[in-house]
């Protein structure tokens, strides 16, 4: 059976059964339509009570809605260019590992199935119109794009969210870190580390990492590319992470 998926924003999807290529039904015809696309034909079947499948001929855009699922060639005749579509009953799943840039989602214990919707929320330092949104498991087994994408702050404030025991230190080759200074613990304080991040003019400082005597400023966030940066973001009880918030 050759598969040709037709999918839109309705609950059913259809595949071509190649056993019926160049044949058309002679009975159980519910409705005959003309001048419609294959998509419109599928929508009509999904929205018409009693429609279980349909025949479609591309070259003249004819569509026959059928009241049953055909399993053999009985009640069909040879007729060039017709294709037979029936509902795809295979269960489509999406991976339970979900990555939404700049956002957190509820961890899934099992794979989601087509139609499932997962909410997300922007993390501190990222924003969108509503700061929330959702993604949907699609009929092709992939997650949809975020409904309201989270992006790094358009304008940053001088306020920070604190996370104790977190440290982000990617390698210098990624051009993603900027060590500022080290020195006396009485001078390189947490307050100094934050205020100097806010006042930087050579780049936009989005987070700072501090332990007594050491301050590190960065211009990227792990949430920008979790798969790339996750190995460099780890627990370290010596440090405190200060995440700069949106204005």
CA dihedral sign of residues 11, 55, 70, 18: negative
Identify the helix (H) or strand (E) that includes residue 139.
none
In the predicted model, is pLDDT for residue 165 greater than 70?
yes
Q: 223-244 pLDDT, tens per residue? A: 888 888 888 888 999 999 999 9
Q: 106-119 pLDDT, tens per residue? A: 878 778 888 889 99
- Taking the alpha carbons at both ends of the chain, their separation in whole angstroms is 57
The tokens describing 109, both together, are 């214990």
Identify the DSSP state of 143: B
Query: Domain 155-246 carries which CATH code?
Result: 3.50.4.10
Alpha helix positions (H), the chain: 38-47, 190-198, 226-229
Query: Domain 93-151 carries which CATH code?
Result: 2.10.70.10
Closest CA to 160 of 216, 101, 206, 229: 206
Q: Indicate if 155-246 has the same CATH topology as 14-87.
A: yes
Alpha-carbon distances of 12 from 1, 115, 116, 178, rounded to whole Å: 19, 10, 14, 52
In 3-state terms, what secondary structure has residue 223?
Answer: helix
Contact (Cβ atoms closer than 8 angstroms) between residue 209 and residue 240: yes
Q: Which residue has the tokens 């590319």?
A: 225
Q: 58-110 pLDDT, tens per residue? A: 999 999 999 999 989 989 999 999 999 998 777 788 888 888 999 999 878 77
Strand partners, 217: 178, 208
pLDDT confidence tier of residue 2, bands split at 50, 70 and 90: very low
Closest CA to 11 of 120, 92, 105: 92
Mean pLDDT of the chain: 87
SS3 content of the chain, % helix, strand, coil (to 5): 15, 40, 45
Euclidean distance between CA atoms 97 and 107, whole angstroms: 8
Give pLDDT, residue 177.
67
Q: Which CATH superfamily is domain 14-87 in?
A: Hepatocyte Growth Factor (3.50.4.10)
Does pTM surpass 0.75?
no
Phi then psi dihedrals of residue 185, to 5 deg: -55, -25
Break the chain into its structural domains and give their ranges.
Answer: 14-87, 93-151, 155-246
């Amino acid at each position: 059976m050759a598969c040709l998926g037709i999918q839109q924003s309705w609950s059913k999807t259809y595949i071509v059964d190649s056993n019926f290529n160049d044949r058309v039904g002679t009975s159980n015809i519910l409705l005959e339509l003309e001048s419609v696309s294959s998509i419109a034909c599928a929508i009509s079947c999904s929205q018409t009570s009693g429609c279980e499948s349909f025949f479609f001929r591309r070259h003249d855009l004819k569509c026959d809605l059928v009241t049953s699922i055909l399993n053999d060639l009985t009640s069909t005749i040879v007729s060039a260019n017709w294709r037979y579509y029936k509902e795809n009953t295979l269960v489509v799943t999406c991976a339970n590992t979900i990555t939404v840039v700049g956002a957190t989602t509820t961890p899934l214990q099992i794979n989601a199935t087509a139609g499932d919707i997962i909410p997300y929320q922007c993390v501190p330092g990222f924003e969108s119109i509503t700061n929330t949104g959702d993604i949907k498991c699609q009929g092709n087994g992939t997650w949809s794009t975020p409904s309201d994408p989270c992006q790094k702050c358009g304008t940053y404030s001088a306020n920070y969210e604190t996370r104790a025991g977190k440290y982000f230190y990617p390698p210098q080759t990624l051009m993603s870190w900027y060590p500022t200074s080290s020195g006396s613990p009485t001078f390189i304080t947490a307050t100094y580390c934050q205020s100097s991040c806010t006042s930087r003019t050579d780049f936009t400082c989005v987070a700072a990492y501090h332990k007594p005597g050491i301050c590190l400023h960065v211009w990227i966030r792990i949430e920008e590319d979790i798969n790339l940066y996750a190995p460099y973001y780890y627990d370290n009880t010596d440090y405190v992470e200060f995440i700069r918030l949106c204005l």
